[in-house]
C-alpha cells in the first residue's frame, strides 16, 4: 500500500517536504509464515559425511548390543565354555549308573543307604566318595559331581522303595 500523507493547511510559499505519516487505523498485514512439517524437513535434509559415519557407527553398536543380549549371539569363548560345561554334564550323566551299579555290588548296601539318608547333602557327597562308589575304574580319586548325582539318585531310589 502506498504511504499516506496527512493533509494540513500550508501556505503556498512553504517549500518543506511532507513527511509520510502512518495511519493508526490501517496497519500493514503480517504474513503468516507456516513452519515446515516433519515430512518437508526430512525432504530438505542433506546429511553430511560425518553425520552418515556417526549414524553407521551408532547403528553397528546398537546392533551388537541387541544381538549379544537378546539375539542369541555369543563369542567363541562363551560358546567354548558352554560346550565344556555340556560335555562335563554329559559325562557325569553317563557315569552315575556306574556309581549306582557299584553301590548295588556292596554287600552292606541296605545299612549304608540308611546312613546316607540321615546325612546332609554335603555329607552325602562325602559318604559316596568315601565308599568308593564314585570312583570309576582307571581314576585315582572319585569325582565330586558324580558323587553328588549318585547320592541324589540313591536317595530317590530309597524314597521310591518306602
Confidence label for 47 from pLDDT (cuts 50, 70 and 90): confident
Which residue ranges make up each domain of the chain? Answer: 87-161
In this prediction, residue 143 carries a pLDDT of 87
Averaged over 61-72, what is the pLDDT? 94
- Which three cell numbers mark 119? 546325612
Averaged over 11-26, what is the pLDDT? 68
pLDDT above 80 (res 34): no
Average pLDDT, the chain: 85
In this prediction, residue 7 carries a pLDDT of 60
Q: Cα–Cα distance between 111 and 126 in angstroms, integer? A: 17
Averaged over 24-36, what is the pLDDT? 67
Under a CB-based contact definition with an 8 Å cutoff, are residues 141 and 135 in contact? yes
Higher pLDDT, 42 or 22: 42
In this prediction, residue 160 carries a pLDDT of 81
Select from 111, 110, 113 the least CA-distant residue to 153.
Answer: 113
In this prediction, residue 139 carries a pLDDT of 85
pLDDT above 80 (res 63): yes
Q: Cα–Cα distance between 40 and 35 in angstroms, integer? A: 10
Confidence label for 20 from pLDDT (cuts 50, 70 and 90): low
Averaged over 64-74, what is the pLDDT? 93
> Each residue of 74-123: pLDDT tens digit?
999 999 999 999 999 999 999 999 999 999 999 998 889 889 888 998 99
pTM of the model: 0.57
* Alpha-carbon distance values, 109 to 100, 106, 119, 128, 157 (Å): 11, 5, 15, 11, 12
Amino acid at each position: 500500500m502506498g504511504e499516506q500523507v496527512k493533509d494540513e493547511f500550508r501556505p503556498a510559499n512553504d517549500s518543506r517536504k511532507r513527511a509520510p505519516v502512518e495511519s493508526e487505523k490501517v496497519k500493514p498485514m503480517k504474513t503468516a509464515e507456516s513452519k515446515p512439517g516433519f515430512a518437508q524437513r526430512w525432504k530438505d535434509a542433506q546429511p553430511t559425511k560425518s553425520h552418515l559415519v556417526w549414524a553407521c557407527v551408532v547403528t553397528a553398536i546398537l546392533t551388537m548390543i541387541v544381538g549379544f543380549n537378546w539375539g542369541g549371539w555369543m563369542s567363541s569363548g562363551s560358546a567354548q565354555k558352554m560346550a565344556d560345561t555340556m560335555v562335563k554334564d554329559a559325562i557325569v550323566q553317563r557315569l552315575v549308573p556306574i556309581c549306582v551299579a557299584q553301590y548295588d555290588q556292596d554287600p552292606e548296601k541296605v545299612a549304608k543307604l540308611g546312613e546316607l539318608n540321615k546325612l546332609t547333602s554335603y555329607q552325602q557327597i562325602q559318604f559316596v566318595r568315601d565308599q568308593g562308589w564314585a570312583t570309576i575304574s582307571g581314576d585315582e580319586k572319585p569325582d565330586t559331581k558324580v558323587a553328588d548325582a549318585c547320592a541324589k539318585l540313591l536317595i530317590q531310589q530309597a524314597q521310591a522303595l518306602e
